A and B are shown apart, each in its own frame.
Chain A
């Protein structure tokens, strides 16, 4: 009995070393060799300084930048150490009120009339709170505001959005989208 229990404990130790130490360390080593950038944080640098990760959304509030989605990660949103959705259910009055409030804000910022349609992604919180993308419609809606704030012709900003649309992967998978950080970086580049 004791001998069997001891063997069971030893099996657990062996398996812990194999699957809990050797396996993740081997995966880390191989990943660093073959895909060092991706295994890190897919960092985007500007002038040698990291400004964020290509995969992680960040907060944009000024009129001269394209805005991402509402975020429930951390109290101020886009906290990459506290990923989270709002978890509000479809019949929660808080959700309906929050969306109504955001609709008003988006319309006011972008000079749209009351009741004007707004794409859902721009007024709903994402699942992770770190969604890096918005839909092409949500980006186009912001073009006039951004162009005005930056004194750029609308056509030029619109063309930049079009250039930054990522299509469905292999033409089938996922949804067309625009990475907000990449778009804003290109916008800064253009404005220089």
Chain B
């Protein structure tokens, strides 16, 4: 039955991704869609109200500058709303201003699509902050990711072009045609299953045994929907998608997992359509699928095997139930953990800190690989396209030919940028973890002693720089050190990839096409799919194996030997 749930998930994912991918290609090519009669007037109204110019396309520098200014302005807004929430409306619990370091961390977190949370939602944020600050960035950061991948796709598809699209148009169309309608429908489906959606104050009831219990309330479903569809991952509540009001039934759990990966998977289809060869997209999708199946196999296997120490004490059934919910059990929890870290989502339905060491290693590794296994909305595919460039380069070296992709030569500039996009997040993770592990401010926050403590730190910086947002949440991250260090890691990890990617888009757009020759490497072949998956794994393993060996790998061996700390 466990196996069937995982297979069912993958089948449904692919069935949904194909039509959605085709639809998104129409949206970003500017073709007609069935939503046009409603949305076209609204789109025009938005441009008029904002006074932005969409009649003209942008070159990559202009595109990047517009994106940066818009995002950082959004970050300032999130910061200010948190600092002022005490005097703003929709605050029935009378939460006061969020402290400055935490407000900075949260602002950086939501703007970069990370949604790392050093706070508990139900005890910190007013409904106004949740809606007007956090929900907004859930949309805008996801739309930013889609805009970047669409711009990169245009860059690859165009010949001798100076421009890569208009940022305002890509952003607005992502929201109006994709994220908003999907979220509204999904929110209502979630409510039908028991996810709450109201603006009432918290309600206190007298329990059966005569105790008192205060039930948190709030506009949860609307934020939940975009949290997953936008691969954001920031929960309304502290327990995120483990909270019964965010994820009440096995059905909502399945739908939430589908919502996380459907847009990233669909974007590979969109890519194929936009570059004029659907098999180019499918080859990438196949590599993602291959890596995903490997990952879910290890997580599930390790969680099902569980913790032998507990079995010797007399615990029966699946032992790894600490930090898991009964309605999800081992299979749905393992699958969710794999899905959320394959994407840059970071929603959790089980506490990753309590996963078995190998079960926790895979989520961490997937984040470290750059979240390119489907990946975040937009960011997954543009990250994977960086690996595609690395792969054709390595193949080019092997056969002694100038590497090319989609009929364009890959030259020094693209290689420099691709290398930067891989090295910047990796360096941020390792240097940040090193700093934290070597300082009192870093180690004082550790909850679990022994090698697991290092895992907590590694996971935090991977999650921050990778813009994932899930956590080994035992680490007390609400300290000035972690709020600031992780906030910076998120910003570096986000824009340290986006800027090189847009630079690649610009330089590829300007190139002439060369006709394929007999020596051209086919990037639609199974061989390419296998090589791409291998390059992702090898680059990740070379970079992170030493750190992982000291954390989860050694912990797994010690657990099997019955050691505790």
Contacts and interface: CB of A to CB of B under 8 A. Distances in A.
A115 to B, nearest CB: 5
Contact of A128 (B74, B192, B242, B357): B242
B88 interface: no
Interface string B234-275: 000111001111001111011000000000000000000000
A128 B197 contact: no
A23 B135 contact: yes
A53 B474 CA distance: 28
B332 A174 contact: yes
A83 B238 contact: yes
Contacts of A131: 244, 325-327
Interface stretch (B24-32, B180-188, B277-285): B180-188
B38 interface: no
A4 to B, nearest CB: 8
A175 B329 contact: yes
B122 A8 contact: no
A134 interface: yes
Contacts of B213: 52, 56, 58-59, 78-80
Contact of A20 (B132, B206, B215, B357): B132
B158 to A, nearest CB: 25
Interface residues of B, number: 123
A125 interface: yes
B239 A130 contact: yes
Nearest to A58: B207
Interface stretch (B149-157, B369-377, B446-454, B518-526): B446-454
Contacts of A142: none
Contacts of B320: 90, 120
A18 B42 CA distance: 11
Interface stretch (B49-57, B99-107, B425-433, B496-504): B49-57
Nearest to A10: B50
A52 to B, nearest CB: 6
Nearest to B135: A20
Interface residues of A, number: 104
B139 A38 contact: no
B211 A34 contact: no
A32 to B, nearest CB: 7
Interface stretch (B289-297, B390-398, B556-564): B556-564
A170 B8 CA distance: 12
B317 A121 contact: yes
Contacts of A8: 52, 66, 69-70, 73
A85 interface: yes
B316 A119 contact: yes
A179 to B, nearest CB: 9
A28 B321 CA distance: 35
Nearest to A85: B351
> Which of B180, B221, B244 is most buried by chain A, counting CB atoms within 10 A of its CB?
B244
B319 A120 contact: yes
A28 B222 contact: yes
Interface string A168-181: 11101111010001
A64 to B, nearest CB: 10
Given A16-B132, A28-B222, A51-B205, A173 B559 contact: no
A15 interface: yes
B52 A80 contact: no
Contacts of B222: 23-24, 27-28
B329 to A, nearest CB: 4
Interface string A43-79: 1000001111111111111100100010001000011
A6 B69 CA distance: 11
A92 B193 CA distance: 36
B207 A51 contact: yes
Given A55-B244, A93-B564, A127-B349, A120 B223 contact: no
Given A24-B223, A88-B322, A133-B327, A82 B123 contact: yes
Interface stretch (B307-315, B378-386, B414-422, B484-492): B307-315
A137 interface: yes
A120 B74 CA distance: 45
B136 interface: yes
Nearest to A39: B197
Interface in B450-498: 450-452, 455, 472-474
Contacts of A14: 46, 49-50
B133 interface: yes
Nearest to B51: A7
A164 interface: no
B315 A117 contact: yes
Contacts of B238: 82-84
A168 B216 CA distance: 27
B48 to A, nearest CB: 10
A21 B446 CA distance: 38
Contacts of A85: 239, 242, 322-323, 351, 353-354, 473
Contact of B77 (A12, A30, A130): A12
Contacts of A137: 316-317
Contact of A91 (B200, B350, B565): B565
A41 B208 contact: no
Interface stretch (A94-102, A145-153, A154-162): A94-102
A19 interface: yes
Contacts of A80: 213-216
Contacts of A78: 213
24 contacts: A4-B66, A8-B69, A11-B52, A19-B226, A26-B184, A32-B197, A35-B192, A39-B197, A50-B203, A51-B208, A52-B205, A81-B123, A82-B123, A85-B353, A87-B323, A87-B354, A87-B448, A91-B452, A100-B313, A103-B315, A127-B239, A127-B325, A133-B325, A172-B4
Given A10-B50, A32-B198, 6 more contacts: A7-B53, A41-B203, A50-B205, A52-B205, A80-B214, A91-B448
Task: Give the top 9 A-B pairs by smallest Cβ distance, nearest first.
Answer: A174-B250, A87-B474, A127-B242, A175-B329, A173-B250, A83-B239, A117-B316, A85-B351, A89-B448
